[in-house]
Amino acid sequence: MDRLDIIQQTIQKKKAQRYLEIGVKKGKVFLQVPARRKIAVDPNFKISFKKKKDAWLQDASNFFNKYYEMTSDDFFERYHRRLQRLDGIDVAFIDGLHRYRQSLKDVQNCLTYLSPNGVIIMHDCNPASEAEAVEVASREQAPRINSQGQKLGWSGDVWKTIVHLRSTREDLNVFVLDCDHGVGIITKGRPENKLDFTTEMIEALAYEDLVRNREQILNLKPPEYLHQFLRANS
């Protein structure tokens, strides 16, 4: 199971109509998502006209996609009235800058416009190695190859956003599916359980802390838990 599977199953089960994606790049996920109204936000799109055209032919609803080539901060600041008129975001997928503070801000902004039964899905919440979890300013600064010569992804310190939400919010249920670099699920409602980290403690956390207590810190669930969750929350 990967992030696209999770998004598609969530949209189908929730009968979601309005979808927002932050961090779109080539549109690998965005163009395949089956939703009536889709909003893409990225400061540097790499989606060719041909790819958009092919997506229109596969699913006519893609013709009405909205593309905002800007940072997520600028998007939420400039288009807040448009979002208010949207009548709620049903599913949001966050895969933007893989930094704790930025991913947290993206979650908080999405929560402002999330429909009551909406779901935020966040990628890169469970880095498999210290190299993948390195805290740098951008993907270009992250290591590309590990010591064994294998290609690396970059998850950054997004996992700290999970810790922050689980420590500071009484009104959110948050867990991470153990697949595809860790896929976080965030919904409104009573938390299953909580953490007790302060913001200062979260800032000081290192990858070794995650390794020592990964399951508890992330509220880690097997991929098949998604079906149980969607049955109970649809």
Decide if pLDDT at 149 tops 60: no
Rounded Cα gap, residues 66 and 167, in angstroms: 35
Decide if pLDDT at 143 tops 90: no
Rounded Cα gap, residues 176 and 41, in angstroms: 23
Contact 155, 181 (CB under 8 A): yes
The two tokens of residue 127 are 């880095």
Residue range 10-21: average pLDDT? 96
Q: At what angle do helices 159-168 and 100-113 cross, to 10 degrees?
A: 50
Contact 16, 37 (CB under 8 A): no
Decide if pLDDT at 9 tops 90: yes
Q: Please report which confidence band the pLDDT of residue 154 belongs to, taking 50, 70 and 90 as the band edges.
A: confident
Structure confidence at residue 127 (pLDDT): 96
User: Could you tell me if residue 188 is left (phi over 0), alpha (psi between -120 and 50 degrees) or otherwise beta?
Assistant: beta
Residue range 82-107: average pLDDT? 95
Q: Please report which confidence band the pLDDT of residue 128 belongs to, taking 50, 70 and 90 as the band edges.
A: very high
Rounded Cα gap, residues 156 and 154, in angstroms: 6
Contact 119, 21 (CB under 8 A): no
Alpha-helical segments (H) within the chain? 3-14, 49-58, 72-78, 80-85, 100-113, 159-168, 199-204, 207-212, 214-218, 225-232
What is 3-13+72-232's CATH number, 3.30.70, 1.10.3470, 1.10.730, 3.40.50?
Answer: 3.40.50
Rounded Cα gap, residues 10 and 29, in angstroms: 14
DSSP 40-105: EE-SS----HHHHHHHHHH-GGGGG-EEE-S-HHHHHHHSHHHHHHTT-EEEEEE-S---HHHHHH
Structure confidence at residue 87 (pLDDT): 86
Residue range 198-227: average pLDDT? 97
Q: Please report which confidence band the pLDDT of residue 5 belongs to, taking 50, 70 and 90 as the band edges.
A: very high
Residue range 37-43: average pLDDT? 97
Strands 183-188 and 172-177: antiparallel
Structure confidence at residue 134 (pLDDT): 86
Decide if pLDDT at 147 tops 60: no
Q: Residue ranges of the domains in the chain?
A: 3-13+72-232
Q: Would you call 224 exposed, middle or buried from its count of C-beta atoms within 10 A (0-12, 13-18, 19+)?
A: exposed
Structure confidence at residue 145 (pLDDT): 52
Mean of the per-residue pLDDT values for the chain?
Answer: 93
Residue range 95-111: average pLDDT? 97
Decide if pLDDT at 142 tops 60: no
Decide if pLDDT at 78 tops 60: yes
